[in-house]
Amino acid sequence: MMNGLYLADGIAVGVFGMALSAAFCDILWTRRKRILMALSMAVILLFQGAIYLWVDRNAIPYLYPLITHLPLILVLCALSRKYLWSPIAALTAYLCCQLRRWLALLVVAVCSGDLRTQYVAQIVITVPLFLLLLHFVAPSVRSIGQETVAVQCRFGLIPALGYGFDYLTRIYTDLLAEGAPVAVEFMPFVCSVAYLIFVLRTSEEKKLRSQLEQTQNSLNLQVSQAVREIASLRESQQRASTYRHDLRHHMQYLSSCIESGRLEQAQTYIHEVCSEIESGKVVAYCENEAANLILSAFAGRAQERGIPIAVRADIPQNLKVAETDLCVLLSNALENALNACAKVKEHGAECGVEVDAYEKTGRLFLQIVNTCESGVRFENGVPVTDQPGHGVGVGSICAIVERYGGIYSFSEQAGKFTLRCSI
């Protein structure tokens, strides 16, 4: 009975450690690689079984680094081509085996069991623990394998020290032979848990940095677009001003055309001049030039798309908000509003946009209400979408408002979406 439990536990821990090592190693899995990994695991286990049957079962712990860990690392190196991270992944998996062993010893201590109880507990714990580590820990560990060599070495130091300490104090010597097993194994267990928490925390911080970088890149791109748009609008306005300034010359040319009977030519010239003037027309909504250009541009877009828009703006020229930030904020908010209205308009329903913006006590207050489809999904008070490439505008709005210590709110009720913010 004991021999059977020992053998079953050996198979369980072997499969646990090797499968976890493969999961921690950043391998691009193909059908061929999966087959090779499975065959390698089977060969290693069969070799262990041969030593158990024909040599001495007590020799297995001493030979484990040579008959299991070294072949496993070589297989991982061959499958991943990552010669540094492969041994680190294997050592990290070994560290996780401490969790399995200590949890089983805890069961023995609580239940006043014996070695048989420990083997049964270790076997029972194997699968749930493996699934938990595979789902919650493995992605974070693999992400570290994509870091620089220096970072990988720093993360590999703890598993390597834990591995050496365990074999020197528990297997190759009897330095930790005295005392209750659950107490002796407590420190390796704590080290394992602390290390895994450290890995998870580092991975989350890496993801956060990546998200912040993406947001910053998006903001930079939007700022560049806003600057180009403002420059284009200013150029159009300048052209219109030039035409208005040269109105006397236009009139003289038209007069000569009429006098000479070239009425069709005169009419064509009038249409051309009117079109160019109209294209550069900027409606005066407020004193702030940048805000006025953006509001005028989006009001023109709304008119072209047949979307009613009402703009009430009282924004002075001097604001504490940078011109580029103001343009990005207004552009994203108005673009989202027009896009939402366009979706409603496709279904033949009425739509519209209402914009209110004013300055008070040194802060800019903005409210945009637009028609929208019902069922807007919110997370933490912010609208979200599953469509790829969408949601960046809302993120930019939030980032700009937070940068100036302002507040924002999003809401949807009865087919009306409302954005309120102050900066």
The token pair at 240 is 């219109």
Model confidence over 333-390: pLDDT tens digits? 888 889 889 888 888 788 899 999 988 888 889 999 999 887 788 888 888 776 554 4
Q: What is the pLDDT along the chain (423 residues), one digit of tens a residue?
A: 566 777 788 888 889 999 999 998 888 888 999 999 999 999 998 888 888 777 777 777 788 888 889 999 999 999 988 889 899 999 888 888 878 887 887 777 777 767 788 788 888 888 998 998 888 888 888 888 888 888 888 888 888 887 887 787 777 776 665 555 545 555 566 666 677 777 777 777 777 777 666 666 666 656 666 665 666 566 556 655 655 555 555 566 666 667 776 667 767 766 666 665 555 555 678 888 888 888 888 888 888 888 898 988 888 888 888 887 888 888 888 888 898 898 888 887 888 999 999 888 888 899 999 998 877 888 888 887 765 544 567 878 888 888 888 889 888 888 889 999 988
Helix axes 247-259, 186-245, angle to 10 degrees: 50
Q: Cα–chain-centroid distance for residue 129?
A: 27
Model confidence over 136-193: pLDDT tens digits? 888 888 888 888 888 888 888 888 887 887 787 777 776 665 555 545 555 566 666 6
358 touches 288 (CB < 8 A): no
| pTM: predicted TM-score of the whole model, two decimal places | 0.52
Q: Which domains, from first to last, does the chain contain?
A: 2-215 (no CATH), 283-423 (3.30.565.10)
CB atoms near residue 383 (< 10 Å):
19
Q: In this structure, is the dihedral angle defined by the CA atoms of residues 380, 383, 387 and 392, taken in order, positive or negative?
A: negative
